[in-house]
Structures are given as structure tokens and as C-alpha cells.
Amino acid sequence: AALLTLSLGACGNGGDAASGASSAAPDLDGLFTELSALCGEAAVDIDPATAAGLYGVEEREVFACRAAGGVSAGEATVFQCADEARAAEVLATAETRLADQAESYADYLPEEAVKLQNAAAVRSGSVVAVCVCADAEKAAELIRNYLG
């Protein structure tokens, strides 16, 4: 099973295509809350500095992160980047991290490795959302619903 990766370009959400401006900013708090719920009750908030270190991104780019840790790979992370180009770079970095983690989990927690291999990693505009959970399709659908 392959990592579920989507890159949503400028979608018809009422924004001005020429300027990239949107009439309504995406509800990142709502998105993060729903993705966090998919990760299980054991997930805890990860401070932005720690999340930035895990992903190799700037701390200011981490909107929010929750992770289960220990014997679970469950995680929800949302990034708000300066622009679409940077978001594409962050998505690539996230995909690499997920692949590396899947490899490290493969021998001792294969069921968690499968979650990592199937994780939802989606970019829409300057936002990147990552969710490692049992239902990656549902996570990807939530992300599409929130981000367009």
C-alpha cells in the first residue's frame, strides 16, 4: 500500500485566482481537531519546536501537532507555510519522514508500519496536513473537506 499523497491546487473556494487570496481562510483548528480524533485518545500535544525538529521544518510553520508515541505511530500535524512553493517542500519532507518511520517500525510493529505507509499527506495552497491513523481514506477526505 502506498502513502496517500494529494496536492490540491487553487480550488474554487471563492478565492481570487490571480492573487491567491481567499475570501475565507481554512479552519485549521477544526481540521486539526478532527484529525487528532482519528489518532486515538493516547495522542498528546507536541510543542511546535519538537515537531519542527522531527520534520526538519521551521518552528513557525507548525500550526499544531499531536502524536501518540510509544507503540503507536498515530499522529496529526498541520503546517501553515509562507507560500505554495514552501508547502510543496514541506510535503516532500513529510513524505520522507513517513517513509523513514515506516521502515523503522516494520520489524517490531508491522501494523503501525502499515499505518505509516498509508498515511494521508495532503497539500492545499500553503497548508500541509499529515495524518497517521487506521483510516487514511477518512483522514484524506476530512482534509479535502476543510482545505478545498
The widest CA-to-CA distance across the chain, in whole angstroms, is 50
Amino acid at 45: D
Alpha carbon 127 to chain centroid distance? 9
Task: Kindly report, residue by residue over 109-126, the tens digit of the pLDDT.
Answer: 999 999 999 999 999 999
DSSP 101-119: HHHHHTTT-HHHHHHHHT-
- Please count the residues of the chain: 148
Q: Give residue-wise pLDDT tens across range 7-49.
A: 333 333 333 333 344 446 789 999 999 999 998 878 899 999 9
Q: Is the pTM of this model over 0.85?
A: no
Task: Give the integer Cα–Cα distance in Å for 53 and 56.
Answer: 5
DSSP 67-94: E--TT---EEEEEE-SSHHHHHHHHHHH
CB within 8 Å of 139: residues ≥ 6 apart: 35, 38, 119, 120, 131, 133
